[in-house]
Amino acid sequence: MSEYHIVASTAELGDEDQVHVNVNGRDILLCKHAGKYYAIDYYCNHAFLPMEGGTMQHGLITCPYHGAEFSLADGSAQAAPAWEALTSYPIQVTNESITIAVT
Ligand code: FES
């Protein structure tokens, strides 16, 4: 069963910012892109390097190492060299708290 965990306040994340958070031992990249919040695996599944610092455009994030692209909304792989989806985590914003659900 999923449980929501507070990971940041909305004041901590400006538009196009990314923050590394750890929830129950999982490394997660919390992002704000075009006014929306997203949470995906922190590590790319191609060579297990950090997604942090990847360019965000048109709802996609590009891995800064070898250019794989993933949907921020559902983690699906959109461009080689990654073919499998990253895990994407449900997010809720309540008042000024950003929470992520992790099973
Ligand atoms: S580590 Fe992300 S594309 Fe290679």
| Ligand 1 centroid, distance to 53 Cα (angstroms) | 12
| Ligand 1 centroid, distance to 81 Cα (angstroms) | 7
Q: Return the structure tokens found at 54.
A: 């990847």
Question: For position 4, what pLDDT does the model report?
Answer: 93
| Ligand 1 centroid, distance to 94 Cα (angstroms) | 33
Range of the domain at 21: 3-102
Tens digit of each residue's pLDDT (9 = 90 or more) over 2-29: 789 999 999 999 999 999 999 999 999 9
C-alpha 6/C-alpha 85 separation (Å) is: 24
Residue nearest to atom 1 of ligand 1 (CA): 47
Q: Which CATH number goes with the domain that contains 30?
A: 2.102.10.10
Tens digit of each residue's pLDDT (9 = 90 or more) over 55-81: 999 999 999 999 999 999 999 999 999
As a whole number, mean pLDDT of residues 81-92 equals 97
Residue 31 pLDDT > 90:
yes
How many residues are recorded in the chain? 103
Residue 1 pLDDT > 80:
no
Residues 6+ apart with CB under 8 A from 73: 38, 59, 88
Task: Look at the chain and report how many structural domains it folds into.
Answer: 1
